[in-house]
């Protein structure tokens, strides 16, 4: 394997004017720069959507609170959900995949660099369009500003009668536009992985990150397209006077639910599979052992991908479906816990007997394992239709999916930030600040989302803007809000750490973690062309082979 590249230093080149450098960023088609753009964009909106969440929590801190009006509260939970899923989580996973996949499989760029840039800007303008509704949503009618129909926008709330003005149009157009962006990027990732692997990089030798990104891209293609189709129908209803979701004319509100959740449930796996991908790279490196059961991990992932297409209606138990449909979706939902369980045991087996180094990335991954397990277990509870009838519309459900999305996905991605920051910036993150971030966020997370389960069990419905005192919910809600303060502080430390480390951190060198995948064979940050000569790979851990020529992996792998 050859990794020679021409030494290139920032200081060799005279700094160019700011306008020119900005112009470079706007017109870039380089997968690394687009990856960074995705991630930075997502971080900005993470803060925006986080503030929206904080507003809701302040409102619910005490009974009969009047911090915001009911209308504003509805807008807040709609915007929080929509932004977090479509304009924070999706860009984050696309950003990671964009930056890392070509480096990991030994390619110089994505298969379609210009499509890549186009997709990013579609996603970016989708987010702008959604948030522009705060200004332009009332349109000519003087009604409402931001969309307030919930993130899954059930019919008939979205009909002209119930959503006058343009706020819902902003919602649907933003999702349509960013959906096309997502499909473009997914096609790009798929093609890159299938067509641009370097010599020797067979599918069986690909890093798990690439395998999981491949599955994620396939899911995006099959899941986001139905959402786009449903948005087109909603537009037909709203603009051309169609009757798809108009129950007055014989249309069906339930079919919108089906169309939405046909997208909505695979979407969960679109987000969590990249989190698995990050964890599958970090845990082996910090346990100093190769991943346990590589082929089984790949099989379990692909299996999750397939099953996730057939579980959507478990979001609709409370709607009232036939016993046959209920039975099918209960069983398929429980079945998906099996490959997921296999993955958890494989990560544990990777750590078992390893020399574990609890650096910041590993801390976050350990938190991920624990929290994902609990989020998964409450998921199995909610998969039982009778249990779901009881708690489906309550805060228990809200606590469950935040356990998965924050406790698992966000924790894993935080770990990914600390792990790959040295590669992207050439500087190490501060360990002290990183650990402070971890503990603050861990405490805040558990305060908020552990406590949130209880009022749910006590009967507190979701989406209410206030509640009566004396139902046993008061103290729990206060604790939930206190947890938000810790999470906010943790996020501040995180952003501070990134900024400080970018300017003041120690130089990282090309391979600070003594890792084994190809991205660590390039300099930090990698040159524009990634690899001066394409590497040749003979095993799953090409860098191990390079560092240990006396005992290379390819002697043992089939």
Residues in the chain: 558
Q: Give the residue with the Cβ less far from another protein, 117 or 508.
A: 117
Smallest gap, in angstroms, from Cβ of residue 345 to another protein? 32
Q: Which is nearer to another protein, 241 or 509 (CB)?
A: 241
Task: Determine the 3-state secondary structure of 507 from DSSP.
Answer: strand
What single string gives the DSSP state of each residue in 283-321? Answer: HHHHHTSPPTTHHHHHHHHHHHHHHGGG-GGGGGGGG--
CB burial readout 189-212, b (16+ within 10 A) else e: bbebbeebbbebbeeebbbbbbbb
User: In terms of CB distance, is 266 or 375 closer to another protein?
Assistant: 266
- Shortest Cβ 34–another protein spacing (Å): 18
- CA distances to 213, 270, 307, 407, 551 from 337, in Å: 20, 16, 10, 17, 38
Closer CB to another protein, 251 or 535, in the complex: 251
In the bound state with another protein, the residue whose beta carbon lies nearer, of 250 and 295, is: 250
Name which of 115 and 380 has its Cβ closer to another protein.
Answer: 115
Nearer to another protein, 183 or 282 (CB): 183
Query: Looking at beta carbons only, is 250 or 470 nearer to another protein?
Result: 250
C-alpha dihedral (518, 522, 527, 529), degrees to nearest 10: -40
Give residue 170's region: left, alpha or beta (phi > 0; psi -120 to 50). alpha
Nearest to 343 by CA among 270, 279, 286: 279
We find the least distance from the C-beta atom of residue 204 to another protein, in angstroms, to be: 22
Contact 415, 361 (CB under 8 A): yes
**Residue 119 beta carbon to another protein: minimum distance, rounded to whole angstroms:** 12
Calpha distance 547→558 (Å, rounded):
20
DSSP label of 468? -
Query: Among residues 217 and 298, whose Cβ is nearest to another protein?
Result: 217
CB-hemisphere CA count at 13 Å for 362? 18
Cβ 125 to another protein shortest distance, Å: 20
| Smallest distance, another protein to C-beta of residue 112, A | 10
Distance CA 399, CA 221 (A): 29
Helix (H) or strand (E) holding 238, with range, is helix 208-240
Residues forming contacts to another protein in the complex (CB under 8 A) are 183, 186-187, 190-191, 217, 221-222, 224-226, 228-230, 232-233, 236-237, 240-244, 249-252, 255, 259, 262
Q: How far is the CB of 186 from another protein (least distance, A)?
A: 7
Question: In the complex with another protein, which residue's Cβ is closer, 142 or 250?
Answer: 250
**Contact of 463 with 425, CB cutoff 8 Å:** no
Q: 194 vs 464, which CB is nearer to another protein?
A: 194
In angstroms, what is the minimal distance from the CB of 322 to another protein? Answer: 15
Q: How far is the CB of 120 from another protein (least distance, A)?
A: 17
- Partnered with residue 461 across adjacent β-strands are 394
Least distance in Å: CB of 177 to another protein? 15
CB of 239 to another protein, least distance (A): 10
Q: Contact 99/420 with Cβ under 8 angstroms?
A: yes
If 0-12 CB within 10 Å is exposed, 13-18 middle and 19+ buried, where does residue 245 land? Answer: buried
For another protein, the closer CB: 241 or 472? 241
- Return left, alpha or beta for 62; rule: phi > 0 is left, psi -120 to 50 is alpha, else beta: beta
Q: What region, left, alpha or beta, does residue 463 occupy, with left being phi > 0 and alpha being psi -120 to 50 degrees?
A: left
Does residue 188 contact residue 110 with C-beta atoms inside 8 Å?
Answer: yes
> How many whole angstroms separate alpha carbon 195 and alpha carbon 110?
10
Q: Angle formed by the axes of helices 90-104 and 411-425, to 10°?
A: 50
In the bound state with another protein, the residue whose beta carbon lies nearer, of 109 and 237, is: 237
How many CB atoms lie under 10 A from the CB of residue 397?
Answer: 21
Within its chain, how far is the Cα of 21 from the centroid? 29
> Rounded to the nearest whole angstrom, what is the least distance from the CB of residue 79 to another protein in the complex?
26
- Smallest gap from Cβ 385 to another protein, in A, equals 23
Distance of CA 462 to the CA centre of its chain: 23
Phi, psi of 427 (to 5 degrees): -125, 150
Nearer to another protein, 158 or 524 (CB): 158
Q: Is the Cα torsion angle 229, 234, 240, 241 positive or negative in sign? A: positive
Minimum distance of another protein from residue 449's CB (angstroms): 33
């Amino acid at each position: 394997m050859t990794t020679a590249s021409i030494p290139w230093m920032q200081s060799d080149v005279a700094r160019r004017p700011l306008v020119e450098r900005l112009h470079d960023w706007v017109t870039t088609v380089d997968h690394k720069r687009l990856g960074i753009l995705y991630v930075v964009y997502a971080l900005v909106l993470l803060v925006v959507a986080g503030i929206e969440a904080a507003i809701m929590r302040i409102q619910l801190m005490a009974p009969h609170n009047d911090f915001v009006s009911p209308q504003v509260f509805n807008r807040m939970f709609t915007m929080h959900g929509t932004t977090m899923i479509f304009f924070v989580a999706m860009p984050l996973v696309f950003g990671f995949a964009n930056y890392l996949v070509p480096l990991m499989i030994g390619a110089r760029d994505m298969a379609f660099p210009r499509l890549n840039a186009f997709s990013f800007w579609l996603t970016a303008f989708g987010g702008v369009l959604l948030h522009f509704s705060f200004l332009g949503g009332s349109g000519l009618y003087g009604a409402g500003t931001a969309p307030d129909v919930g993130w899954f926008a059930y019919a008939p709330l979205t009909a002209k009668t119930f959503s006058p003005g343009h706020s819902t149009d902003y919602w649907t157009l933003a999702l349509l536009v960013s959906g096309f962006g997502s499909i473009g990027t997914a096609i790009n990732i798929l093609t890159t992985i299938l067509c641009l692997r370097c010599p020797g990089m067979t599918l069986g030798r690909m890093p798990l990150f690439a395998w999981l990104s491949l599955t994620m891209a396939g899911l995006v293609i099959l899941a986001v397209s139905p959402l786009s189709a449903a948005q087109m129908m909603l537009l037909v209803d709203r603009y051309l006077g169609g009757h798809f979701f108009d129950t007055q004319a014989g249309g069906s509100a339930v079919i919108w639910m089906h169309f939405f959740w046909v997208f909505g449930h695979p979407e969960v796996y679109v987000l969590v599979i990249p989190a698995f991908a990050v964890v599958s790279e970090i845990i082996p490196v910090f346990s100093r052992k190769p991943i346990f059961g590589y082929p089984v991990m790949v099989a379990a992932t692909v299996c999750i991908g397939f099953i996730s297409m057939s579980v959507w209606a478990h979001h609709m138990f409370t709607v009232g479906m036939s016993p046959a449909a209920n039975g099918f979706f209960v069983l398929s939902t429980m079945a998906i816990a099996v490959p997921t369980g296999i993955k958890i045991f494989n990560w544990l087996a990777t750590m078992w007997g390893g020399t574990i180094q609890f650096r910041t990335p590993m801390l976050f991954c350990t938190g991920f394992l624990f929290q994902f397990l609990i989020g998964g277990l409450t998921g199995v509870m909610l998969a039982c239709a009778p249990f779901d009838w009881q708690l489906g519309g309550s805060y228990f459900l809200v606590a469950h999916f935040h356990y998965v999305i924050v406790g698992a996905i966000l924790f894993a991605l935080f770990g990914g930030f600390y792990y790959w920051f040295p590669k992207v910036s050439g500087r190490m993150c501060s360990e002290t600040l990183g650990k402070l971030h971890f503990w603050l966020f861990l405490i805040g997370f558990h305060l908020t989302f552990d406590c949130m389960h209880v009022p749910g069990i006590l009967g507190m419905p979701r989406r209410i803007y206030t509640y009566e005192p004396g139902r046993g919910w008061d103290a729990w809600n206060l604790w939930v809000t206190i947890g938000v303060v810790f999470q906010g502080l943790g996020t501040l430390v995180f952003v501070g750490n990134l900024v400080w480390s970018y300017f003041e951190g120690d130089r990282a060198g090309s391979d600070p973690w003594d890792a084994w995948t190809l991205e660590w064979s390039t300099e930090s940050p990698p040159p524009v062309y990634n690899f001066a000569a394409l590497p040749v790979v003979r095993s799953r851990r090409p860098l191990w082979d390079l560092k240990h020529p006396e005992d290379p992996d390819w002697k043992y792998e089939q």
